[in-house]
Amino acid sequence: MIVGHQSVRPGLDYCQTVVDVRVIDRSSTTDRLAGALREMMFSGELFPGEALREVILAESFGVARSTVREALQVLTAEGLVTRAPNRGVTVTELTERDIAEIFEARLVLEAAGVRAGAVGGDLSAAARALSTYADAAAADDPVVATHAHLEFHTSLVAILGNSRLVASADVLTGDLRLALASVERQRRNARQQVADHRRLLTLMRSGDEPAAVAELDRHLAAALVSVTERVTGA
């Protein structure tokens, strides 16, 4: 549990913000630190492009710099932070082209899964993922809802039964998580999103492959616009 939590104000570099000393359970310090930073990113306390300085983080959370480095490595592997020469580690920031490429790749993978599901593929995992998403939406928790939302989309790729394609989908959703979390916080329409996904699953169950793919295309196209506008400020 984190003690002495203080939000980071918009427009200020995180490392220049005065923070309280944070204490975290030493039973799994690296994982808990990574979890604390992850939560701050998804809640909007840390913004894309913000620098994460080892010294400041170590002092703020009351841990060793080596623990900070390990936690940042975990987040780097998840695509949530980026390490670059002369910039150090920053919260991952997507460009408009990045977003377009991610959604293009997602459509290819997810449409293949939707087609497989519409012609008899196992839809049980997708149904469970949708149920989890519906529960998160009902609880009105944007952080949990974002995770559940993306898990549903990954479950569509999993219908293909190809672990390498699922791994590729995981990379794409990892790249997108922060941007989508920002959109979820702003529009807070997870329940409508659940309804849209339920309609997609219904079309797959009915065997209407063209309609199911068209519904997925419509959903991803709308999401592309929302994420792009949110990230670019357009």
Q: What is the pLDDT of residue 7?
A: 42
CA 87 to chain centre: 23
Helix, strand, coil percentages (3-state) for the chain, rounded to 5, are: 70, 5, 25
Architecture of domain 14-91: Orthogonal Bundle (1.10)
Average pLDDT, the chain: 85
pLDDT, residue 16, reads: 47
Q: Any residues with CB less than 8 A from the CB of 27 and at least 6 apart, and which?
A: none
List the structure tokens of 152: 């549903």
Q: What pLDDT score does 175 carry?
A: 78
Q: Where does 96-232 sit in CATH, by number?
A: 1.20.120.530
CA distance 161 to 121: 9
pLDDT in tens, 80-135: 899 888 779 999 888 899 999 999 999 999 999 999 999 999 999 999 999 999 99
pLDDT at 218 over 70: yes
Judge contact between 71 and 82, C-beta under 8 A: no
- Which tokens belong to 117? 């599901």
- Domains of the chain, by residue range, sit at 14-91, 96-232
pLDDT over threshold 90, residue 171: no
pTM over cut 0.85 = no
Q: Looking at the predicted structure, is the pLDDT value of residue 27 above 60? A: no
